[in-house]
Chains A and B, each alone.
Chain A
Amino acid sequence: MFLEVLSLFPAGIINGLMFGAIYALVALGLTLIYGVLHIINFAHGAMLMLAMYMAYFLFKILNIDPYVAILIVTPAGFVFGYTIYRWGIGKLSGGRDQNILLITLGLSIILENSALVFFTGDQQTISLAYSYEAFDLGFLYLSYPKVISFVASLAICLLLWMLMTLTDLGKAIRAVAKQREGARLVGIDVEHVFAVTFGIGVACLGAAGCMLLPIFYVDPYTGNIFVIVAFTIVVLGGMGSIVGALLGGFIIGITESVGGLILGESLGQVGISLIFILILIFRPTGIFGSKV
């Protein structure tokens, strides 16, 4: 029995990496919003769900492949996030963090229940022409959708890192994250930067939604399934850290996968909670505990 489980370890680790990259993408938006706005977006799961539904309907109605739909859903996510922050959350909160928390919590309830009314609770899945095509590694079949999702997630993480480190916009975002008033004094439109950051966070969800759709199902509550993991990744990687989110995604993905092999698929997820607790005890700032 032990040898049998041991023989599955390489496959388990690769599976963990594949899913970890998508987890990282979901966590990326969360960590970015926290890093700059210093708030937890409680509507993150609901927004991920909306992105998945958008990809789903683009596929069902216009027959657009979800991976092509990234080019539509990601910008749409940015526009949605920017708009909802600039003319919704930002205005209603009056600059108070606790108000933002309550507003995002309320927003998640509105979005989830609206989805329940309009899309029903029916779980939707899709099958692509290449859904069951796979690379044969000998000990594991890596399906094309998972490989595409993995590569695309890494590419988006890299693009975001470049945006944050190499562009003026990235500098402005980092300036606002570090010293809000100082940034305002040097002429940075802080409210605009807040909205842009929120928009980028939601855009990440747009991409993640497109990548999750071919390998999972969507219903009005799907987003929460991934956001719970994303919270752990953000804490593990360090709140506000892009590299931390990616590394955290991989660690959590592998922990979940290998934990499932050792402890069984039911108990295996205990590993995620264990990591969460250990990080809070021994390194509360996370592995890369720096701001964006």
Chain B
Amino acid sequence: MTKSPKLFAGSRRQFIGSASATFALASAGLSIPHIAKAASAVKIGLIHPATGWAAYPAAQLRYGAQLAIADVNAAGGIKSMGGAPVEAILGDSQAKPEIGAAEVEKMNEAGVNAIQGCYQSAVGLAASATAAKYNIPFSVDVGVSDKLVQRDLPNVFRMADGYGRIASDASVNLAEINKAAGSPAKTVAIVHEESEFGTGTAKLVTEALAKHGLTVIETIKHANPTRNFDNIALRLKAAKPDIIMPINYPGEYVLLAKTLRQQRVDFMASYSVLGGGFNFKFVEEMPQIAENMIDVNHWYDPSSASGQAMRTRTEADGKYFTFEVYCAYMSILFLVDGFERAGSTDNDAVNAALASSTLNVDFMPYGPTKMVNGQNMGSRAVAIQAQKGDVEVIAPASYASASAIFPRS
């Protein structure tokens, strides 16, 4: 005769003891369901254009996010949830809004507790709206459209800056740099890509520059991808602007810079806003073109020890320390801090915790987080310039590591 399997292998006395202890813990406020949740991982969905034309920035974003997740787990996970580890669920938007939205649906089915994404504003708009249906906390990594945080969606947050304030800051910085040089620049030509990012930023910058006495005399929109920038260079040559302002993605940014040199276009400065191709790689590989080019972008605080340490780690991993890396890292820290303070994965509790975040990310020039309608009001872009093969922060003065070289030498 076989014995029936026992659910509890100990003696009756032990069973009564354990049950009593459990009851006592529950009475003390540590509910059993809560303990059960603490043992399971917190799932964060990462939605990026892993395949398609934006695969490189996507890979950088994934790297930054996964670096942060590894660090959080190495430090003991989410402590208020019993050391719950964070698990990344990867999604590929293929650079398409509808696919990004579909990825959110799949992740919801998979039980994600929060989502980070999506690099492109257009994809972020679709994905975050879908996440709003389920009230899933959604942290925008680097999408700059302000529409992302202007739809009264209580689940959508952005730590980095949006194009409204970036356009304003870029204009202020340019005006100050120009003034310090004796105001030689009067005119600007904008070359921007055709999507929400480029078009929206160009419109805002045009309005902001006018307030500082700088006139936009030419605005040229181009497709993604653009195979040949010769005609654009010729139009710029004919317009003779003092400043050329590219607002585009990496491939086109570099092609435009190369073509301007090939066509001998004369200008005082290339002053890009969110120039996708301006990074350490560009400065290292094409120093003769990059030298003295200026960009206004998300950038880490070079004076912070943690920022320098992250740069060293990233480069040791064979990667360039692009803004995607630390923006994604910051975005994960923000979500984890929300879970930590909420003490649970309940969407309402996490969203409330995120909305009241005061997280101070010391490797960014932001200060303590202050969310207003999902936007971190402490965030700011900085002006950076390629100088002698490196990238220096030239404005604002509080974070500057070097003085601006303007007009370019």
* Contact call A125/B221, Cβ cutoff below 8 A: no
0/1 interface trace, chain A 127-150, chain B, CB 8 Å (1 if under): 100011010000011010000000
0/1 interface trace, chain A 183-224, chain B, CB 8 Å (1 if under): 000000000000000000000000000000000110111000
Q: CB-nearest residue of chain B relative to A225?
A: B225
Contacting residues, chain B, for A217 (C-beta < 8 A): 251, 254-255
B319 to chain A, nearest CB (A): 9
- Complex Cα distance, B53 from A134, in Å, reads 30
* Contact call B51/A122, Cβ cutoff below 8 A: no
B59 at interface by CB-CB < 8 Å: yes
Contacting residues, chain B, for A219 (C-beta < 8 A): 53, 55-56, 251
0/1 interface trace, chain A 102-141, chain B, CB 8 Å (1 if under): 0000000000110010001111010100011010000011
The answer to whether residues A121 and B59 also contact, given A12-B231, A15-B230, A257-B231 and a CB cut-off of 8 A, is: yes
Residues of chain A in range 217-267 having any CB-CB distance to chain B below 8 Å: 217, 219-221, 225-226, 229, 256-257, 260-261, 264-266
B223 at interface by CB-CB < 8 Å: yes
The answer to whether residues A264 and B251 also contact, given A15-B231, A125-B285 and a CB cut-off of 8 A, is: no
B46 at interface by CB-CB < 8 Å: no
Q: CB-nearest residue of chain B relative to A260?
A: B231
Q: CB-nearest residue of chain A relative to B320?
A: A122
Contacting residues, chain A, for B288 (C-beta < 8 A): 127
B238 at interface by CB-CB < 8 Å: yes
Which one of B22-30, B259-267, B337-345 is at the A interface? B259-267
B194 at interface by CB-CB < 8 Å: yes
The answer to whether residues A134 and B262 also contact, given A123-B250, A125-B254, A265-B226 and a CB cut-off of 8 A, is: yes
B353 at interface by CB-CB < 8 Å: no
A42 at interface by CB-CB < 8 Å: no
Size band of the interface chain B makes with A: 35 or more
Contacting residues, chain B, for A221 (C-beta < 8 A): 52-53, 55
Which one of A3-11, A31-39, A66-74 is at the B interface? A3-11
A93 at interface by CB-CB < 8 Å: no
* Contact call A264/B228, Cβ cutoff below 8 A: no
Q: Which of A19, A131, A134, A140 contacts B234 (CB 8 A)?
A: A140
Contacting residues, chain A, for B225 (C-beta < 8 A): 225
Contacting residues, chain A, for B251 (C-beta < 8 A): 123, 217, 219
Contacting residues, chain A, for B234 (C-beta < 8 A): 8, 11-12, 140
- Complex Cα distance, B286 from A15, in Å, reads 24
B138 to chain A, nearest CB (A): 24
Contacting residues, chain B, for A216 (C-beta < 8 A): 227, 255
B220 at interface by CB-CB < 8 Å: yes
* Contact call B223/A141, Cβ cutoff below 8 A: no
Q: CB-nearest residue of chain B relative to A145?
A: B262
* Contact call A127/B250, Cβ cutoff below 8 A: no
* Contact call B223/A220, Cβ cutoff below 8 A: no
B323 to chain A, nearest CB (A): 15
How many of A's residues come within 8 Å of B, CB to CB? Answer: 38
* Contact call B238/A261, Cβ cutoff below 8 A: no
- Complex Cα distance, B236 from A261, in Å, reads 12
The total of Cβ contacts below 8 Å across the A-B interface reads 102
- Complex Cα distance, B288 from A33, in Å, reads 42
A269 at interface by CB-CB < 8 Å: yes
- Complex Cα distance, B388 from A203, in Å, reads 42
B43 at interface by CB-CB < 8 Å: no
Q: Which of B251, B281, B288 has the most CB of A within 10 A?
A: B251
B272 to chain A, nearest CB (A): 17
Contacting residues, chain B, for A269 (C-beta < 8 A): 223
* Contact call A123/B231, Cβ cutoff below 8 A: no
A200 to chain B, nearest CB (A): 25
Contacting residues, chain B, for A7 (C-beta < 8 A): 238
The answer to whether residues A265 and B231 also contact, given A125-B258, A132-B261 and a CB cut-off of 8 A, is: yes
* Contact call B221/A266, Cβ cutoff below 8 A: yes
Contacting residues, chain A, for B52 (C-beta < 8 A): 221
B188 at interface by CB-CB < 8 Å: no
B58 at interface by CB-CB < 8 Å: yes
B222 at interface by CB-CB < 8 Å: yes
B153 at interface by CB-CB < 8 Å: no
0/1 interface trace, chain B 282-317, chain A, CB 8 Å (1 if under): 000110110000000000000000000000000000
* Contact call B51/A266, Cβ cutoff below 8 A: no
B241 to chain A, nearest CB (A): 14
B79 at interface by CB-CB < 8 Å: no
A19 to chain B, nearest CB (A): 5
Q: Which of B222, B227, B255, B286 contacts A127 (CB 8 A)?
A: B286
B302 to chain A, nearest CB (A): 23
Q: Which of A8, A116, A125 contacts B235 (CB 8 A)?
A: A8
B251 to chain A, nearest CB (A): 5
- Complex Cα distance, B226 from A229, in Å, reads 12
Q: Which of B53, B220, B264, B281 contacts A264 (CB 8 A)?
A: B220
B41 at interface by CB-CB < 8 Å: no
Q: CB-nearest residue of chain A relative to B224?
A: A266
Contacting residues, chain B, for A134 (C-beta < 8 A): 262-264
The answer to whether residues A8 and B238 also contact, given A121-B55, A131-B258, A266-B194 and a CB cut-off of 8 A, is: yes
Contacting residues, chain B, for A141 (C-beta < 8 A): 262-264
Contacting residues, chain A, for B194 (C-beta < 8 A): 266
Contacting residues, chain A, for B349 (C-beta < 8 A): none
B359 at interface by CB-CB < 8 Å: no
- Complex Cα distance, B265 from A11, in Å, reads 15
B232 at interface by CB-CB < 8 Å: yes
0/1 interface trace, chain A 147-167, chain B, CB 8 Å (1 if under): 000000000000000000000
Further 4 A-B residue pairs, CB within 8 A, beyond A127-B288, A140-B234, A266-B223: A7-B238, A112-B51, A122-B59, A266-B194
Residues on A close to B: CB < 8 A?
A: 4, 7-8, 11-12, 15, 19, 112-113, 116, 120-123, 125, 127, 131-132, 134, 140-141, 143, 216-217, 219-221, 225-226, 229, 256-257, 260-261, 264-266, 269
Q: Name 21 A/B residue pairs within 8 A (Cβ), A-sorted.
A: A4-B238, A11-B231, A15-B228, A116-B55, A120-B55, A121-B56, A122-B56, A123-B56, A123-B251, A125-B254, A125-B255, A125-B258, A125-B285, A134-B263, A134-B264, A140-B234, A217-B255, A257-B228, A257-B231, A265-B223, A266-B221
| Closest 9 pairs between A and B when the two form their complex, measured CB to CB | A121-B55, A121-B56, A265-B222, A266-B221, A122-B56, A15-B230, A266-B194, A143-B262, A123-B251
